[in-house]
Amino acid sequence: MNIKTPNPRLAKFIITQLGGPDGELAASLRYMHQRYGMKNNKVKGVLTDIATEELAHVELVSAILYQLTRDMTPEQILADGYAEYFVDHTAGIYPQGASGMPFTAAYFQSKGDPITDLTEDLAADGAIM
């Protein structure tokens, strides 16, 4: 991807895919930690593979955010509602939701029960925009 035009308004929406409750960071940690509750080694391996893929998504979303926010003008920052984020992080990539809530481990569960954990995975993946 090669986004050439800054768009802080769009970045405000996309950032939730990085650090929001159903974003890629939560997904990667969800799968990685839930694998330990699985008794079947093949299932553990699949969850490890999925967690690794979700980390690749973290990289992709971060690259998109970087490209959408680099070279922003002060006018764009103010007009597009990016000022609150900019005050705390400038144009750095920081995992948070669209609401401004920073990423928290409370966004995912790991109960140790395979059915419960896999149901939570399905619910989180179904909530993605």
pLDDT number for residue 52: 97
Could you say which DSSP state residue 96 is in? B
Place of tokens 């969800």: 30
pLDDT number for residue 127: 57
pLDDT number for residue 56: 97
pTM: predicted TM-score of the whole model, two decimal places:
0.86
| Residue 14 CA, distance from chain mean position | 9
Rounded to whole angstroms, the Cα distance separating 46 from 37 reads 13
How much of the chain exceeds pLDDT 70, in percent?
98
pLDDT number for residue 129: 46
Q: Is the pLDDT of residue 37 over 70?
A: yes
pLDDT in tens, 68-123: 999 999 999 999 888 888 989 988 999 999 889 999 999 988 888 888 888 888 88
CB neighbours of 16 closer than 8 A, spacing ≥ 6?
22, 23, 96, 97, 98, 99
Which residue blocks in 35-126 are alpha helix, DSSP H? 41-69, 74-79, 83-89, 114-126
